[in-house]
Amino acid sequence: MGIKEQKTKAVNDFHENLNKYSSIRHVIGVVSGKGGVGKSFVTGQMASMMARAGYKVGILDADITGPSIPKMYGVHGPAYGDDRGSYPIAAPDGTEIMSINLLLDDEESPVIWRGPVIANAVKQFWTDVVWGDLDYLFVDMPPGTGDVPLTVFQSLPVDGVVIVTSPQDLVSMIVKKAYNMASMMKVPVLGIVENYSYMICPHCGEKISVFGESNIDQVAKDLSLPVLGKLPIDPSYARLEDEGKCYQIEAPFEPAMQRILEAL
């Protein structure tokens, strides 16, 4: 058991022991109050940003019934395993990835499991996967405040979460649900990323607010949180994701994003 695992295990007995052949310095959760906001995209972009900065990173795809990380990175199973545990698959940029899709015989097979089984699978991605030596492990969680986010908050030593949202009238409620859950679990919220914030007209270069004017700055101010990025709608992003090359995208995060992660 590494230093971080010993410390967190002493603080909270709910925390599971990390696989003994692994060392992970920081665990970052990526959450949203609702689906369809591009949380997996933001997870991948955060991981790619830190990989480009020279850090060793991994992604734990905790969205068991709707995994998309392997497709975005162009990686396929089956994942290899031995008596030490299962091994993540490295993407072309070096990001280590573990997802239920890397353990299925058929990537298109549905995962029809009840909540407790799904929660146990997420725990096993922490206890039974040989992650090796990582600086950052990003955990891509399903939307909402159900079994999986609760399991991650209770079982993993999460250093902080990033909330992903989109510019809609109900953004305040969406963000505050995720924020309040993290607060109840005593997990720091590092900031907010607004996805689908705008698009640039390919003909005139005008910035268009497709979903209306955003109020994310006011919501962030009310919660005393930084806005870590306002990401555009860009057809090239979707194309590169479909091609399994999401690591080639450089999303326009605020400089504060990398500074906050490095400060951990």
Instruction: Output the pLDDT for position 6.
Output: 45
**What's the whole-number mean pLDDT along residues 113-120?**
92
- Which two tokens mark 193? 């990323």
Q: Give the burial class of 250: count Cβ atoms within 10 A of its Cβ; 0-12 exposed, 13-18 middle, 19 or more buried.
A: exposed
Please state the rounded mean pLDDT for residues 235-254: 96
Give pLDDT tens digits for 130-166: 999 999 999 999 988 888 999 999 999 999 999 999 9
Percent of the chain with pLDDT over 90: 78
* Predicted model pTM: 0.92
User: What pLDDT shows up at residue 13?
Assistant: 61
First to last CA, the chain: 20
pLDDT given at position 10: 42
Q: pLDDT band for position 171 (50/70/90)? A: confident
State the Cα–Cα distance between residues 243 and 213, nearest whole angstrom: 31
**pLDDT tens digit sequence for 201-218:** 988 989 998 888 888 999
- Extract the runs of DSSP E, i.e. beta strands, from the chain: 23-31, 57-61, 81-82, 85-86, 89-90, 96-98, 133-140, 160-165, 189-194, 199-200, 207-208, 227-230
Question: Using an 8 Å Cβ cutoff, are 174 and 42 in contact?
Answer: no
Whether 9 shows a pLDDT value over 70: the answer reads: no
Strands 160-165 and 23-31: parallel
Cis peptide before 226 (omega within 30 of 0): no
Checking if the pLDDT of 186 tops 50, the result is yes
Max CA distance (Å), the chain: 59
Question: What was the pLDDT predicted at 7?
Answer: 45
Quote the CA–CA distance of 24 and 125 in Å, as a whole number: 13
Rounded Cα distance, 213 and 20, in Å = 48
